[in-house]
Each structure stands twice: as C-alpha cells, then as structure tokens.
C-alpha cells in the first residue's frame, strides 16, 4: 500500500462569495501524498491491490509527455518496488521535460510510439506486441480510468460525504472516471458539477454514465471553461492562478484545477449555483505539471 495523509478542507472567503451567499470549501486532496497525489492516489489504490494479487511486478501505462497519471504510476511503482513502463505519445524531445525527468528518476522505462500507433493502443495486436517486447505486465489505461479506479474514487467520495456537509461538489473532468466514482458516493440531496477540461466535452456525459452502475440524475458536466482545450491556457487563466495563490494561498494547476475554480466563479455569477448553498471543490492535485517545462 502507498502511504496516505488525511487532507484538510480549506474555506475560500471573499466579498464576491459573501455577496453571492455561497460558501466555498476546497478539499485539498492534492496534499494526500507528495508524489502519488490527488485523484490519482484513489484511482490507483485498487489497481495496485489487484496487481499485487495477480503477482505482477511491472505496471505498464500510457500518457502524454506531461501526464499526471504517468507521474503517479512511476512514483507508485517505485514506492512498491515494482517496475514501470510508460508508453509515451510522440517522439522523444530533448531536453526531457520535468515530468519525464521525474518518471525516469523513479525507474520508469519510457517507450515512445508514433501518434498513429498510440491511437491504437487498446487494440489487441498492439498489446500483444508490447507483451512480446516487455513480458508480463499489469496494464493501466491512459488516464488510469477503469472499474477499479472508479471504485477507489467511490470510497473517497463516501469518506468526504461523511466528513462534512455540502450541497454541490465541483471537480475537473478529463476521462470521467473520477466524476463517476464521486457521483456514486453522494447523498441524494447532493449534486455534482464536472468542469470539462477538454474542448467539446459534451461526450463526457456518456463517459461518466458508462462508469456509473446505478442511475443518477444529480450531476451534470459544464463545458464552457476549457480555455481552448486540453492543457491550453491563456494569460487570463495564468493571472487567475497567480491571484488565487496570492489571495487565498491556494495553489492551482492550469490543466485541471484552475479551470475548475474559474468555472465555479462563473457559474455562481451566472446564477447556476444556488444562493445559500455550500460548494465543495475537489482539488484533484496535478501540481507537478503546474510549472512543468
Ligand atoms: C487526471 C486528473 C484529472 C482527471 O481525472 P479523470 O478521472 O480522468 O476525469 C483531474 N485532475 C487532475 C489534477 C488530474 O491529474
């Protein structure tokens, strides 16, 4: 098992929130582990148990060059004395960025594949080739979303619900795995709003549904806050990150959490979050990528 630290809930106070009559809390899950952090800790929890039960000694997964998932898998494998292999999209560019430098220090073997091959990564032939090349491994999909990842997020959601009262949970959505687990753990009177970090994120509704085992209607995806798409940002978002750090001592990353908090403010402004409600933002981590170069 990877170690876990209990994380605080931070209240954000500002005249804007007071005027809107909204209490804003942030679950600082970014602080749960220095390297396997945020939602990635929970997404890996039951997968690591499963790999262990299967007697696997190697984790293999996929990601882009700045992937938080790749980072977490390399750190988890190293902490557990396992090997790790990262299949990375595109060609090697030197000098390596800080994410790839980190995964190498944790012993991850990086294997670059063309964008074309990468697109076919779930296909049986490609997986077979990987097995011939690397031997037996426990495979984690890109972004780490599978049924065991959703199970881990459900466990976390139930803990959070028991820990404190809130009305609306807001969190960033990449693949939808975290969102599905979180929704499954909510009480009926609570709702979840997922902020899509992808352009054209409407399809994420289907992705979340795919991972939900029971019907639920107390959730929705908001799509206006992607700033041009995955990992895209602009001056406004970067200024927002700096101001949030200065005014509230809350660190955010530009890929996931800054878009989420920005979206929360906009939804409040637009009257899409009820007055006198308590909003819980889930800080999913991702700070390794915040200043990545
Ligand atoms: C991976 C990641 C997400 C997205 O989680 P999904 O389960 O893929 O939706 C959100 N926030 C951070 C910081 C992440 O690293």
pTM: 0.97
pLDDT in tens, 32-57: 999 999 999 999 999 999 999 999 99
Looking at the DSSP assignment, which residues form a beta bridge with residue 206? none
Domain boundary among 94, 114, 144: 144
- The answer on 25 and 88 residing in a single domain is no
- The answer on 14 and 76 residing in a single domain is no
pLDDT in the model for residue 17: 98
- The answer on 138 and 44 residing in a single domain is yes
Asked if the structure places residue 274 within a domain, the reply is yes
pLDDT in tens, 205-226: 999 999 999 999 999 999 999 9
Asked if the structure places residue 149 within a domain, the reply is no
pLDDT in tens, 194-205: 999 999 999 999
Name which residue sits closest to atom 13 of ligand 1, judged by CA.
286
Cα–Cα distance for residue pair 185/110, rounded to 1 Å = 36
What range defines the domain where residue 91 resides? 39-144
- The answer on 56 and 30 residing in a single domain is no
Cα–Cα distance for residue pair 107/99, rounded to 1 Å = 13
Three state DSSP letters for 68-118: HHHHHHHHHHHHCCCEEEEEEECCCCCCCCHHHHHHHHCCCEEEEECHHHH
- The answer on 190 and 76 residing in a single domain is no
Q: Is the pLDDT of residue 291 over 70?
A: no
Q: Is the pLDDT of residue 114 over 80?
A: yes
Mean per-residue pLDDT of the chain: 96
Q: What spacing in Å lies between the alpha carbon of 42 and ligand 1's midpoint? A: 11
Q: What would the mean pLDDT of 51-78 be, rounded to a whole number?
A: 97
pLDDT in the model for residue 271: 96
Q: Is the pLDDT of residue 292 over 80?
A: no
The CATH number for 108's domain is 3.40.50.1100
- The answer on 184 and 121 residing in a single domain is no
pLDDT in the model for residue 254: 97
Q: How many domains is the chain built from?
A: 2
Q: What spacing in Å lies between the alpha carbon of 28 and ligand 1's midpoint? A: 14
Q: Which atom of ligand 1 is nearest to the CA of 149?
A: 7
Asked if the structure places residue 1 within a domain, the reply is no
pLDDT in the model for residue 289: 80
């Amino acid at each position: 098992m990877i170690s876990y630290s209990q994380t605080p809930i931070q209240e954000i106070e500002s005249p804007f929130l007071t005027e809107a009559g909204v209490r804003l809390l942030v679950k600082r899950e970014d602080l749960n582990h220095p390297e396997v952090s945020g939602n990635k800790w929970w997404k890996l929890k039951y997968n690591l148990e499963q790999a262990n039960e299967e007697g696997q000694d190697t984790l293999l997964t996929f990601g882009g060059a700045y992937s938080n998932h790749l980072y977490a898998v390399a750190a988890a494998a190293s902490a557990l004395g396992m090997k790790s292999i990262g299949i990375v999209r595109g060609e090697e560019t030197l000098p390596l960025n800080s994410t790839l430098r980190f995964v190498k220090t944790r012993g991850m073997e990086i294997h670059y594949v063309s964008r074309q091959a990468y697109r076919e990564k779930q296909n049986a032939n490609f997986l077979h080739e990987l097995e011939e090349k690397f031997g037996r491994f426990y495979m984690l999909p890109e972004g780490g979303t599978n049924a065991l990842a959703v199970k881990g997020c459900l466990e976390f959601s139930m803990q959070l619900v028991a820990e404190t009262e809130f009305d609306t949970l807001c969190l960033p959505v990449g693949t939808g795995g975290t969102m599905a687990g979180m929704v499954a753990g909510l009480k009926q009177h609570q709702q979840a709003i997922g902020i899509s970090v992808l352009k054209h994120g409407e399809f994420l509704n289907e992705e979340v549904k795919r991972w939900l085992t029971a019907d639920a209607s107390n959730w929705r995806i908001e799509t206006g806050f992607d700033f041009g798409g995955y990992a895209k940002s602009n001056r406004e978002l970067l200024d927002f990150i700096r101001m949030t750090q200065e005014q509230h001592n809350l660190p955010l990353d530009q890929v996931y959490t800054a878009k989420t908090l920005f979206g929360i403010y906009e939804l409040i402004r637009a009257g899409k979050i009820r007055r006198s409600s308590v909003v819980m933002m889930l800080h999913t981590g991702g700070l390794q990528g915040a200043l990545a170069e």
